[in-house]
C-alpha cells in the first residue's frame, strides 16, 4: 500500500540530523556545498579563482578577477540574518519533517526564538517551498476540483460571502494505478472560464487529459490545448465520487493540517504560501529523509526579496 510505504519510511532522526548539522561549521560547509557544488563561482563575473576570509559571522569569498566580495549567505534567503545557521537548519529540519505543518508558535518553542522571528523564518521557508513548485507543470492525466480556503476555518463570516475565503484549484496527477503522483494547489481569482484558462496555461502541459466534475468553467482548460472530460455528479456528494477519492482525501488532510497547525490566518494574504508549502511536502513525501537538504537548496535558490514578500514591520529577525 502506498500510504504505508510513506508512513513507515525511516526519515531523518533528530539525533542523526544534529550529528550532521549541530555546529556552525558543519552548517556553513553544507550551505557552501549546496550553493556551489563545483566550488565558488562569482555571482558578478562568473570567475572561479578566489580567496576566502572571515568578516563578521560568515565566510566571505573574494573573486580574483573582479575583486567583488560575496558572503556565504549573500543572495540567499539567509542574507543579513543575525541568527546562527544552526537555528535556520533546525527550523528547516522541523518544518520539512512536520507532516501536518508546523505553526510559528510551535516553531518558536522548538528553536528558542521570539514569535516574530519564528513567524518570519516560517514564512521565508514556506515561500521557498511554494516558489520551488510553482515552475513545475503537471503531466499525465490530471484530475481537478474546486475548493476554498477559509470560511469555517477563519473564525469570520462563513460561506461564499466571507471576505477571508480564497478559491483555489486542487489538481492531481495520478499514476497508472490511480495513486497520486503530484498535486498543485493554486489560488484563483474565482471559478470563471478566464481564470481556469489562465490557470491551465501556467500549470498544465498542453495536450493533458483533464477530468473534473460538471462545474462549467473547467471546460476552459481546452483553451490551453488540453482535453477535458467531465463527470456529472448527479446528486452525489463529492466525497462519494470514487473518481475524486484521492483529491478529496488530500483536501481533507489539508483542512486538518491548516486547522490544527495554523488555526486562523490571513487566507487571502498568504493562501499561495500555505497551499504551496503543503503541496511541496506532499510531492516529496517519498523522500522524507532527503527533504531537509532539498529545502536548503530551495532556500538558496529563492534569493533575497524581503521587501516583496515580508512586510518590513515584521522583519524583526
Q: Please report, as ranges, the residues that interact with Zn ion according to CB under 5 A.
A: 42, 44-45, 47, 63, 65-66, 68
Query: In terms of CB distance, is 67 or 109 closer to Zn ion?
Result: 67
Closer Cβ to Zn ion, 51 or 202, answer by number: 51
Minimum distance, C-beta of residue 73 to Zn ion, in the bound complex (Å) = 18
Nearer to Zn ion, 43 or 84 (CB): 43
11 or 47: whose CB is closer to Zn ion? Answer: 47
What does the alpha-carbon distance between residue 200 and residue 208 come to, in Å, rounded to a whole number?
10
CB of 85 to Zn ion, least distance (A): 24
Angle between helices 291-302 and 85-97 (to 10 degrees): 120
CB of 118 to Zn ion, least distance (A): 36
Is residue 220 a contact partner of residue 154, using CB atoms and an 8 Å limit? no
- The CA angle 147-155-192, to the nearest 5 degrees, is 25
Residue 61 to residues 43, 57, 117, 118: CA-CA distances in angstroms? Answer: 11, 13, 28, 29
In the complex, minimum distance from the CB of residue 43 to Zn ion, in angstroms, rounded to a whole number: 8
Least distance CB 62 / Zn ion (angstroms): 9
Nearer to Zn ion, 69 or 193 (CB): 69
Length of the chain measured in residues:
317
Supply the minimum distance, in Å, between the C-beta of residue 272 and Zn ion. Answer: 35
Which grid cell is 243?
473518481
Q: How far is CA 22 from CA 4, 18, 86, 87, 295, in A?
A: 31, 4, 6, 9, 17
Kindly state the smallest distance separating residue 61's Cβ from Zn ion, in Å.
9
Distance CA 253, CA 31 (A): 33
Of the pair 3, 66, the CB lying nearest Zn ion is at 66
With both helix axes pointing from N to C terminus, report the angle between 85-97 and 14-21 in degrees, rounded to the nearest 10.
150
The terminus-to-terminus CA distance of the chain in angstroms comes to 43
Nearer Cβ to Zn ion (2/52): 52
Amino acid at each position: 500500500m502506498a500510504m504505508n510505504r510513506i508512513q513507515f519510511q525511516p526519515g531523518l532522526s533528530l539525533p542523526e540530523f544534529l550529528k550532521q548539522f549541530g555546529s556552525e561549521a558543519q552548517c556553513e560547509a553544507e550551505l557552501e556545498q549546496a550553493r556551489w557544488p563545483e566550488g565558488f563561482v562569482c555571482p558578478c563575473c562568473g570567475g572561479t579563482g578566489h580567496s576566502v576570509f572571515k568578516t563578521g559571522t560568515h565566510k566571505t569569498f573574494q573573486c580574483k578577477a573582479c575583486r567583488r566580495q560575496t558572503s556565504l549567505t549573500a543572495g540567499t534567503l539567509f542574507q543579513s540574518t543575525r541568527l546562527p545557521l544552526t537555528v535556520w537548519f533546525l527550523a528547516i529540519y522541523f518544518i520539512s519533517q512536520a507532516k501536518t505543518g508546523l505553526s510559528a508558535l510551535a516553531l518558536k518553542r522548538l528553536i528558542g526564538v521570539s514569535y516574530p522571528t519564528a513567524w518570519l523564518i516560517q514564512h521565508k521557508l514556506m515561500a521557498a517551498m511554494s516558489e520551488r513548485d510553482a515552475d513545475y507543470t503537471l503531466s499525465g492525466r490530471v484530475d481537478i476540483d474546486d475548493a476554498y480556503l477559509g470560511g469555517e476555518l477563519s473564525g469570520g463570516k462563513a460561506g461564499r460571502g466571507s471576505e477571508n475565503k480564497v478559491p483555489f484549484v486542487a489538481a492531481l496527477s495520478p499514476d497508472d494505478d490511480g495513486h497520486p503522483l503530484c498535486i498543485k494547489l493554486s489560488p484563483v481569482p474565482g471559478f470563471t472560464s478566464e481564470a481556469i484558462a489562465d490557470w491551465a496555461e501556467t500549470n498544465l502541459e498542453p495536450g493533458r487529459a483533464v477530468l473534473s466534475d460538471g462545474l462549467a468553467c473547467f471546460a476552459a482548460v481546452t483553451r490551453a490545448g488540453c482535453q477535458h472530460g467531465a463527470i456529472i455528479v448527479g446528486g452525489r456528494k463529492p466525497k462519494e465520487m470514487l473518481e475524486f477519492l484521492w483529491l478529496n482525501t488530500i483536501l481533507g488532510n489539508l483542512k486538518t493540517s491548516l486547522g490544527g497547525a495554523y488555526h486562523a490566518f490571513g487566507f487571502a494574504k498568504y493562501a499561495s504560501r500555505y497551499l504551496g508549502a503543503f503541496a511541496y511536502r506532499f510531492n516529496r513525501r517519498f523522500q522524507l529523509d532527503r527533504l531537509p537538504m532539498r529545502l536548503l537548496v530551495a532556500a538558496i535558490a529563492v534569493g533575497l526579496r524581503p521587501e516583496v514578500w515580508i512586510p518590513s514591520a515584521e522583519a524583526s529577525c
